[in-house]
Copies of this chain bind each other. A is one copy, B any other.
């Protein structure tokens, strides 16, 4: 990546919710934007933390024992091994940062395909 990334412009290229679009890399991490609308699946990542920064809308990250409510400009890092489910009643736009090769569902068989936008 040798040019700047406008996150809103990248998000406008996405159609469906829960289909991340990769916008860049940071060392061995991928930077991705995603639209969240409705309920994702419960999942966890055993070997990596999971970064969420809300860009627009409101995102709930459900944990087994509580909900984390995020508004624009708020971030939350789900610790490795912790089950979570992202949920949004209305469309929310989110920046994700994950180690390369991390399946978004925590499972390669159900993960969204890798897509660069």
Contacts and interface: CB of A to CB of B under 8 A. Distances in A.
Contacts of A31: 51, 75, 77
Given A1-B77, A2-B79, A97-B97, A26 B51 contact: yes
Interface stretch (A35-43, A66-74, A84-92, A103-111): A66-74
Given A4-B68, A5-B74, A6-B73, 11 more contacts: A1-B79, A3-B68, A4-B69, A4-B76, A5-B75, A8-B73, A24-B75, A26-B49, A26-B97, A31-B77, A97-B97
Number of copies: 2
A48 B77 contact: no
A53 B4 CA distance: 10
